[in-house]
């Protein structure tokens, strides 16, 4: 069944993005591990990030889990933003900022959906 609301389409796109990023990180973790090692951070964070991204991506597809998933992924993105800044990787820094912006937009749309359904509107999702 196809998504109907804009929040559902955006969440689907974000889920695909974060699933792709997580698989890329888990399958090609050398760069992330080296970056963390240079910063003096534990290298297992690269694998934990990939697993959290994948769990968050899947959770974005479930309406009732979407808000906590977006918050978790945004918090993870803030950590990535900090590490990219410290590593002086400004391309990755801008990518992290765009990911956080996407998640904030999902949170805003979900908040509007909740407010609309609380006022008797019927904006239920086809995906949840």
> In this predicted model, what pLDDT tens digit does every residue of 59-108 receive, in sequence order?
999 999 999 999 999 999 999 999 889 888 888 889 999 999 999 999 99
Q: Is the pLDDT of residue 127 over 50?
A: no
pTM, rounded to two decimals: 0.81
Per-domain residue ranges for the chain?
Answer: 6-117
Residues 101 and 63: their CA atoms lie apart, in Å, by 19
Q: Which pLDDT does position 103 carry in this prediction?
A: 93
Mean pLDDT of the chain: 88
How far is residue 125 CA from its own chain's centroid?
19
Residues 29 and 96: their CA atoms lie apart, in Å, by 17
């Amino acid at each position: 069944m196809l998504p109907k609301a804009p929040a559902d389409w955006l969440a689907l796109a974000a889920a695909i993005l974060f699933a792709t990023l997580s698989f890329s990180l888990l399958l090609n973790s050398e760069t992330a591990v080296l970056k963390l090692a240079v910063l003096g951070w534990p290298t297992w964070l690269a694998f934990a990030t990939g697993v959290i991204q994948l769990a968050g991506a899947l959770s974005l597809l479930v309406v009732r889990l979407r808000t906590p998933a977006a918050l978790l992924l945004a918090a993870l993105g803030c950590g990535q933003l900090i590490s990219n800044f410290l590593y002086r990787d400004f391309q990755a820094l801008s990518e992290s900022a765009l990911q956080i912006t996407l998640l904030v937009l999902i949170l805003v749309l979900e908040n509007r959906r909740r407010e609309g359904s609380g006022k008797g509107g019927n904006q239920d999702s086809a995906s949840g």
